[in-house]
Structure formats: C-alpha cells, structure tokens
C-alpha cells in the first residue's frame, strides 16, 4: 500500500482563512492538492494560472511534488503594486516635509 501524505491547503481571505486537511498519495502535486481540497469550487475567483502558490510561504509551481506535512497556500492577487505604493508615500512625504518647513518659516 502506498504511503499517504498529510497535507493542508489554505486560502487566505481578508476575514477568514479556510483550511482543508487532506490525505493524498505519495508523489501528489500542489495542483492535485488544491483540486482535492474543494476550494476551487467554493471560491471560483481562484485561478491557478494567475494566483501565486506557495508551500510554507515559499513560492512554488502547481506541478511541484509535495512532502508529508506540507501546507499549500493559495495567495490572492495584490490590489496595488508595493513598489508603486512606496513611491507614492515617498513623494507625499517629500511634499509634506517641504510644505511644513515653509509654513513654519512664515
């Protein structure tokens, strides 16, 4: 009899984090775990071609082979590009500092 792997699949939503525990055959992939979890049916917005995937916060591909006790994570797409947000904050900070200095000197 083939060994079974104990796998968890989690999808982080803003208000809840559904977690599904599975037993899968040795050699199962990330994609197979996600499909077996039922999360694709429950959350149709998950698109394995677009959503990033990870195993314990380390990015991985859908065809990666799982090991016993792995936790597969389905990440939501980013709403804003972090680099652009930092640029906007830095620009706003410069404007505020410059403006604040001028109003103090008046």
Return the half-sphere exposure (C-beta side, CA atoms, 13 A cut-off) of residue 72: 34
- 88 shares its domain with 64: no
Kindly state whether residues 11 and 50 are assigned to the same domain. yes
Share of the chain above pLDDT 70, in %: 85
Is there a single domain that holds both residue 65 and residue 81?
Answer: no
Identify the pLDDT of residue 12: 86
Same structural domain, 34 and 86: no
How many residues are there in the chain?
106
**What CA dihedral angle connects 56, 61, 66 and 69, to 10 degrees?**
10
| 70/85 same-domain check | no
* pTM (two decimals): 0.73
C-alpha closest to that of 24 among 74, 69, 73, 75: 69
Q: pLDDT tens for residues 28-67?
A: 999 999 999 999 999 999 999 889 999 999 999 999 999 9
As for how many domains the chain has, the answer is 2
């Amino acid at each position: 009899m083939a060994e079974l792997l104990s796998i968890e699949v989690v999808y982080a939503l803003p208000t809840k984090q559904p977690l599904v525990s599975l037993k899968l055959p040795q050699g199962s992939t990330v994609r197979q775990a996600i499909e077996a979890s039922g999360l694709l049916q429950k959350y149709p917005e998950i698109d394995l071609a677009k959503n990033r995937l990870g195993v314990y916060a380390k990015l991985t591909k859908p065809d990666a082979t799982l090991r016993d006790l792995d936790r597969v994570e389905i990440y939501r797409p980013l709403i804003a590009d972090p680099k652009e947000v930092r640029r906007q904050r830095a620009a706003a900070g410069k404007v505020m500092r410059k403006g604040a200095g001028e109003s103090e000197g008046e």
